[in-house]
């Protein structure tokens, strides 16, 4: 057993339980259902996007802490992916090709999303030189093309929930 990870995960779990009991899950007396959903997500290695929306918002933090601490203890690839995606630190004890690959994929998506946000913010500047604006717009197009493909890889590996398909627009024939 990997004791440093286990002790860290146990401490996180205890802190989450204490915070949930002190806050009362936002005034609710019981966050049992949220914690059960987190446990099921841990068992199935589901990303937060697949289960967190079913949890009462007041208990979401406690459920997410439960999910994080349990998967950190296992060094599950989905944990490494989400740690990198959110900028959290993955335990140094977690290694292995699959974990490292998942962490790298999460980091790549986070970096691309961050760069896209930076570009959009810079493009709002009216004083931006034309050449710089063109370069930024080109880079935005490249990221706009590549990011969905990288996110699709994460979906295929089960690290992101399935993409939402927009409702079809009514046709004139209906």
Average pLDDT over residues 132-145: 96
State the pLDDT at residue 14: 45
Task: Assess whether pLDDT exceeds 90 at residue 69.
Answer: no
Is the CB of residue 54 less than 8 Å from the CB of residue 82?
A: no
State the pLDDT at residue 165: 73
pLDDT tens digits, residue range 19-62? 444 444 444 448 899 899 988 988 888 888 888 888 889 999 99
Residue among 102, 90, 118, 94 at smallest CA distance from 150: 102
How far is CA 60 from each of CA 64, 68, 112, 160, rounded to the nearest angstrom? 6, 12, 27, 18
**Which position has the higher pLDDT, 49 or 144?**
144
DSSP 159: S
State the pLDDT at residue 173: 61
- Its pTM stands at 0.68
Task: Assess whether pLDDT exceeds 90 at residue 150.
Answer: yes
Neighbours of 169 (CB within 10 A): 5
φ, ψ at 51 (rounded to 5°): -130, -25
Average pLDDT over residues 87-94: 83
Is the CB of residue 63 less than 8 Å from the CB of residue 45?
A: no
Is the CB of residue 56 less than 8 Å from the CB of residue 25?
A: yes
How far is CA 137 from each of CA 87, 116, 120, 124, 132, rounded to the nearest angstrom? 26, 10, 9, 11, 9
């Amino acid at each position: 057993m990997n004791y440093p990870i286990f002790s860290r995960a146990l401490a996180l779990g205890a802190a989450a339980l204490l915070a949930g009991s002190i806050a009362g899950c936002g005034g609710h007396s019981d966050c049992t259902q949220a914690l059960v959903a987190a446990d099921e997500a841990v068992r199935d290695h589901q990303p937060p996007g697949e289960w967190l929306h079913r949890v009462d918002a007041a208990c979401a933090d406690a459920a997410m802490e439960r999910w994080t601490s349990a998967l950190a203890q296992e060094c599950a690839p989905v944990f490494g992916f989400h740690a990198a995606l959110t900028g959290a630190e993955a335990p140094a004890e977690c290694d292995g090709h699959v974990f490292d690959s998942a962490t790298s994929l999460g980091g790549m998506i986070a970096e691309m999303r961050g760069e896209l946000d930076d570009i959009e913010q810079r493009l709002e500047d009216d004083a931006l030189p034309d050449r710089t604006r063109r370069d930024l717009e080109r880079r935005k197009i490249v990221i706009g093309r590549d990011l969905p493909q990288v996110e699709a890889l994460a979906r295929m590996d089960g690290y992101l929930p399935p993409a939402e398909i927009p409702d079809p627009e009514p046709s004139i024939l209906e």
